[in-house]
A and B are shown apart, each in its own frame.
Chain A
Amino acid sequence: MQFNSYVFAAFFAIVLAGYNLPSLTWRGQKLWLLITSYLFYAAWDPVFIALVWLSTFVDWTAARLITSARTPARKRGLLISSVVINLGVLGYFKYGNFVLANLVSALHAIGIDYQPAPFDIILPIGISFYTFHTLSYTLDIYLGRTAPWRSFLDFALYVTFFPALVAGPILRASQFLPQCAQPRRTTARLLAWGLTLVVLGLFEKCVVADVMLAPAADLVFAASPVGAADAWTGTLAFAGQIFCDFAGYSTCAIGVALCLGFSLPDNFRFPYAAVGFSEFWTRWHISLSTWLRDYLYIPLGGNRAGVIRTYVNLMLTMLIGGLWHGASWTFVVWGGLHGAYLIGERLVSRVLPHGAWRARPWARFAGATITFVLVCIAWVFFRAASFGQAFAILQGMLGLARGPRVLPLVNYELVGLVTVALVATHWVMRERPLEVVVEHTPWLVRSIALGTMIAAILLMQGQDRAFIYFQF
């Protein structure tokens, strides 16, 4: 069930009404949310709800057993069991076809013609997200960062909470479970601000990403060869689309949760205003980057074991982060490029002299521009369906290829307009929380903006595109 669907509007109205029944206790409200969260997931495919139950049961049990285990070896064994089951399920569904295809290619390269039976696996929606939810709980218990939660109902709701179930933000138990301890209700203020965020998120998704940008990206990434103007326009279109699509989803999720009285963590902080890649990753998909930092980069040794080892850890973390997005080598290269950018940034930082010049506007502008351009180049691999396609786009961007014009004129206008507006907004807002900006906006201006956005969202129906991150 997508936030930009008629069925979600009806579903959410029913959830809100049931959740706020005066006769319902806090336990009853949580049970209602759990049941409706399962319905939310089952609306896509009821069969795969069993995987959510498996993930819930495995980590709930593992966490309790780890807590009661007497020896470190047993604790470690239980942790490994949980990790193997979780990543095993994720690996089977998400990477089964990928592994098989690579095995066939490898065998073919050494002269063995192996033709396995088709391995038709459906990727369960949101599996990468809820697997990371539950894994983080067991890892936190093992590392002693959190105590096991007593209520199974609360834990099941943490795993399944529908606003964040299929595309994040990736929740930590320490962020969500304490919220289950105190009764919550929908208040007029929460509803007003929550719905405002939902409208903002849907506007980003339905109007900016789907209508204004996606068609240009689709046309360019299906063409070859591609000239410079088309290659850059298509890449900028995708850079805007992926942000507005995913940040739009996260904003909706935060808004929906807020209507129910729950607070979800931020996932984006105007990333296209980042000066450098370290900063970019504190602003882009924050719940994933912090997850990878806490459960992968730091356990690998982080930056504590020397310069070379730091670089290796950075690269490994980003490669795995790339693979998390999808079972394709193009995603691995995307992660590898970001790993290289992070390493390069550290090397440059060691060479460049420290001083006040770094804070000067021109230096920051140059840093932000270089960061944005390199991020866009990495997006080519993220969007392209194959390396051939990616290289065709890159050749076009570098002016090394000429091709017939792919895009109608209106696409250049739209993509140019939206890109300038998007980057300018990020730059202006980079140090300002949205709430503060809205706080200082007269209510009539808010109304005009919101009313126009609602009208635009409803007018732009019909593209029927799923959120990009649903496939991850």
Chain B
Amino acid sequence: MPSSTSSSEPRQIPGGNWRAAWLVTLVIAIGLLGAVELVTRAHGQRPSVVDDPVSWSLVRRTADDDPRVVAFVGASRMALGYSADAFAEVAPGLRGVQLAIDGASPFGVLADLASDPHFRGLAVVDMIEWEVGVPDTFNDARLYVQREHALWRAPGALVNRTLAGFAQSEVAFLALGGRRLVTSLIGGLRWPTPSWVAADRDRISRADYSLAEPAALRRKRDNRLETIPAATPSPDEWIAIIARDIEPLFRQIRAHGGEVAVIHMPLSGRLIEIFDQKYPRPRYWDVFAAQSAAHVLHFRDIPAMAKLTCPDEMHLDQKDHAAFTRALIAALREQHLVRDP
């Protein structure tokens, strides 16, 4: 934006009553934002903290040098399945650390824990069949892991993330996203529908599917079915890939005093039917469970988990994540992986 001065001379300052102008400006801005916040909340939108590599790094740092740590590793399934409150209730002597990353396979984070001799806790890994053998799957979490390894190199981003976290955890309209707001208002002449997922500053997410429009939910389910790989590795290939790429990570974690439990998270509807067809459990999952150096669990073997339903066929609703977490801890306790001091 230009102004009239281009030398070192003092710039021309427009005259007028600036004091009154700024006072009224602030009143207008606060009034507008307050009104938008009220409307946003009235439409069901909750405050939500944006997840990013810095947030993840700050949580990741708390997973080291403590055998009481239970680190939850995985994708959005684990992010939405884990309840910090339920965990604190059923395992008061342990410390839950949420390391799941939305949209990322668990293997990058697992590799990071495996290469870290300071990790001595229990890694609970959310893994499903189609993630095995996907090219570049270890790179999904690369930005997050790299950021954690060089956290001090960008102190400004650290402070910014902390301040942004405070703001985002209190103000609902920040969760709308400017682009969504503009396209909804201009393109659809309506207020944006609320996001059904919200997260807090500790990276604990909750999904409230009662906020989802049925059409949007159906579209999401249909889109996901289209992304299931057409070609499935044979059971032998599948097991061989795990033996080559993933089992060494389990052994590494155990070598420095940690433990690993792998959990097949609940799935529902057409998705689990397709999984049953493409990856028959006796030839895939059960073979892996029998051979693995990790403790392997399947949601169908845990009655309290088996009865849970995923509204979008893949993720648990917030009304079920406490039940899932309690069932998970009970199952881990049965395997003697979780011991309260």
Which residues does A use to contact B, with CB under 8 Å? 1, 5-7, 10, 42-47, 174-176, 178-179, 188-190, 192-193, 195, 197, 200-201, 204, 206-207, 210-212, 215, 247-248, 250-251, 254, 258, 263, 265-266, 268-270, 283, 286, 408-410, 413-414, 429, 433-436, 438-439, 443-444, 446-448, 450-452, 454-455, 458-464
Q: Can you pick out 21 interface pairs between chain A and chain B where the beta carbons lie within 8 Å of each other?
A: A6-B160, A7-B157, A43-B154, A45-B154, A176-B8, A178-B8, A189-B13, A197-B1, A254-B11, A265-B6, A409-B187, A414-B183, A435-B12, A439-B14, A443-B16, A447-B25, A450-B22, A451-B24, A460-B181, A461-B178, A462-B174
Chain B residues whose C-beta falls within 8 Å of the C-beta of A451 in the assembled complex: 24-29, 31-32
Chain B residues whose C-beta falls within 8 Å of the C-beta of A268 in the assembled complex: 1-2
Please name the 5 residue pairs, one residue from A and one from B, whose CB atoms are nearest each other, closest first: A43-B156, A451-B28, A460-B178, A433-B4, A410-B187
Q: Which of B7, B13, B21 contacts A443 (CB 8 A)?
A: B21
Contact B177 A462 (CB under 8 A): yes
Contact B159 A10 (CB under 8 A): yes
Interface size, B (range): 35 or more
* Residue B230 lies at the interface, judged by CB distance under 8 Å to chain A: no
* Residue B50 lies at the interface, judged by CB distance under 8 Å to chain A: yes
Contact A6 B164 (CB under 8 A): yes
Q: In the complex, what distance in Å separates the CA atom of A190 from the CA atom of B11?
A: 9
Q: How far is the CB of A378 from chain B (nearest CB, A)?
A: 21
Contact A459 B181 (CB under 8 A): yes
Contact A263 B173 (CB under 8 A): no
Q: State the main secondary structure of chain A at its contact with B.
A: helix
Contact B16 A6 (CB under 8 A): no
Chain A residues whose C-beta falls within 8 Å of the C-beta of B2 in the assembled complex: 266, 268-270, 283, 429, 433-434
Interface string of B222-234 (1 = CB under 8 A from A): 0000000000000
Q: Which of B3, B29, B167 contacts A435 (CB 8 A)?
A: B3
Chain A residues whose C-beta falls within 8 Å of the C-beta of B301 in the assembled complex: none
Contact B28 A459 (CB under 8 A): no
* Residue B20 lies at the interface, judged by CB distance under 8 Å to chain A: yes
Q: In the complex, what distance in Å separates the CA atom of A156 from the CA atom of B164?
A: 32
Q: Which of A270, A409, A459 contacts B33 (CB 8 A)?
A: A459
Closest B residue to A446 by beta carbon equals B21
Interface string of B277-310 (1 = CB under 8 A from A): 0000000000000000000000000000000000
Chain A residues whose C-beta falls within 8 Å of the C-beta of B28 in the assembled complex: 447-448, 450-452, 455
Contact B182 A251 (CB under 8 A): no
Chain A residues whose C-beta falls within 8 Å of the C-beta of B13 in the assembled complex: 189-190, 192-193, 435
Contact B6 A286 (CB under 8 A): yes
Q: How far is the CB of A81 from chain B (nearest CB, A)?
A: 29
Q: How far is the CB of B165 from chain A (nearest CB, A)?
A: 9
* Residue B42 lies at the interface, judged by CB distance under 8 Å to chain A: no
Closest B residue to A42 by beta carbon equals B155
Q: In the complex, what distance in Å separates the CA atom of A229 from the CA atom of B230?
A: 35
Q: In the complex, what distance in Å separates the CA atom of A436 from the CA atom of B5?
A: 12
